[in-house]
Amino acid sequence: MSIHPIQWERRGLQASLAVLSIAALLISIAMAVSIGEMTIPLATTFKAVVNRVFGAGFEISGIQEGIIWSYRLSRALVAACCGAALALSGVILQALLRNPLAEPYVLGISAGASTGAVAVMILGFGHGVLTLSSGAFAGAIGAFALVSLLAAGSGGSHDRIILAGVAGSQLFNALTSYIVTTSANAEQARGVMFWLLGSLGGVRWPDVYLAAPVALGGFVVCIFHARALDAFTFGTDAAAALGVPVARVRIVLLGLTAIMTATMVSIVGSIGFVGLVIPHAARFIVGPGHLRLIPASVISGAIFMVLADIISRIIIPQQILPIGVVTALFGAPAFAFILYKARRAV
C-alpha cells in the first residue's frame, strides 16, 4: 500500500515546521551568497545586507560588498523565486488536471518559451524591440494556448492534456533545433545551448524586481484558492457540486501558471523537474490539503533551487554547470520513484 503522509498532530509542531523551513530558506540563501569562487564569511554577508537595508555602516571591503550585493544575492533571490513559482505551478496543474505528472515542463510550456527565445536571439524577430525575455514569454503563452487547444479538441480528459503536452514539447523542441541548426553560428549555438539548460549567470536586480512580485503574487492568489483546489480532489464536476465556480477558478489559476512559468523561464531558461518533484515531496511531508501544501511547496521549491544553484557553481571547479542539469540530475530519479509509486497505487 502506498505511503501515508506523516500526520502532524499538534498545531505547535506545524508552527515550528513553518519557522524551521523559513529559517532553512534564509540559511540556504545566505550560503548561496557566501559560497563561490571567492568564499565570503556568513558574518560579512549579514553585515553587507544590514549595511544596504538599514545603512548600519559596518566596515567591509568594497569588492566583497560588490560581489554580495550586485552579483550573488540577486542571483540567490531569483533562484528562490523561480523555484517557488515553478513548484506552485506544479501544485496548481496537478490539482486542476488531477494528474500527478502535470507540470509546466511536461506540458510543453518551457519548450515553447525556448522557441520564443531562440526566435528572438537568432532570427532577430521583433527587430530589437522584443527582448529575449519577452520572446520567451510570448513562446510560453503560445505553447500553453496550443497545448490547451489540443487537449480540449481531443476530448479534454485528464490524460489527454499530458499527451498534448508531449506533442507540444516535441514540436517546439524541433522548431528550436531547426532554428539553431539552420540559422545560428557556432558561438550563438553555444549561447543558446546554455540558455536552454537554464542559467542564472546574467541575473541582476531588475530580474529580482520582476521575479519576486510574480512569485509572491502567485502565492497569494493560490492560497486564496486553496480550498477550491481541495474541492477538485474528486474531479471537476465534484468541485462544481461543492459550490466552486469551476470555470472562473480554472481560468484564473491556469492563467497564473502560464504567467509564472513564462516569467521564470524568460529569466533563467527552461528548468525541468522542479514543478514535478517538489509538490510530491511537499505532499509527502504535509499531506494533500492545499492550505499547507502550497506554502510547503513554495518554500521547498525555493530551497531546492537555491541549493541546486550552489551545487551548479561548486561541483566542477572553475566551471558553472547549467542549473537545469543539476535539477534534472536530482529530479530524474525522483520522477522514476513517482512513476513507480503511481504504478503501485493502481
Partner 1 sequence: MTISVKDARWTASGKMIVDGITLDIEAGQMLGLLGPNGSGKSSLLRLICGLRRVESGVIRLGDDEIGLIPRAQLSRRIAIVEQQATTDAQVTVNDVVRLGRTPHRSPLSQWTMRDDAAVNHALESVGMLEKRAQSWHTLSGGERQRVHIARALAQTPAELLLDEPTNHLDIQHQLDILSLISRLPVTSVVALHDLNLAAMFCDRIAILHHGRVIAAGDPGTVLTEELVADVFGVRTFIDRSPHHGKPHIHFLAAHRS
**217 binds partner 1, rule: CB under 8 A:** no
Q: Which of 341, 334, 337 is nearest to 1 (CA)?
A: 341
Sequential DSSP letters for 196-254: HT---TT--HHHHHHHHHHHHHHHHHHHHTHHHHHHGGG-HHHHHHTT--HHHHHHHHH
The least distance separating partner 1 from the CB of residue 19, rounded to whole angstroms, comes to 21
Contacts to partner 1 from residues 327-346, by CB under 8 A: 342, 345
Interface residue with partner 1 among 17, 35, 69, 100 (CB under 8 A) is 100
Binder of partner 1 out of 47, 72, 225, 292 (CB under 8 A): 225
Cell of 302: 525555493
- Asked if 75 touches partner 1 (CB under 8 A), the answer is no
35 interacts with partner 1 by CB under 8 A: no
Candidates 58, 178, 209, 234; binder of partner 1 (CB under 8 A) is 234
Nearer to partner 1, 191 or 288 (CB): 288
Selected binder of partner 1 within 24, 242, 285, 311 (CB under 8 A): 242
Nearer to partner 1, 80 or 286 (CB): 286
Cell numbers placing 249: 477558478
Q: What phi and psi, each to the nearest 5 degrees, are found at residue 240?
A: -60, -40
Phi, psi values for residue 197, rounded to 5°: -85, 0
Give the whole-angstrom CA distance, residue 318 versus residue 228: 48
Using the rule CB under 8 A, which residue among 107, 226, 277, 328 binds partner 1?
226
Near partner 1 in 258-287, by CB under 8 A: 283, 287
Q: Tell me, what amino acid is at 18?
A: A
- Is residue 345 within 8 A of residue 339, CB to CB? The reply is no
CB 246 to partner 1: min, Å: 9
Output the smallest distance, CB 9 to partner 1, in A.
11
Give the Cα separation of 81 and 232 in Å (integer): 26
Short-list 69, 34, 31, CA closest to 49: 69
**Which chain residues interact with partner 1 by CB under 8 A?**
1-2, 4-5, 7, 98, 100, 224-228, 230-231, 233-235, 237-238, 240-245, 283, 287-289, 342, 345
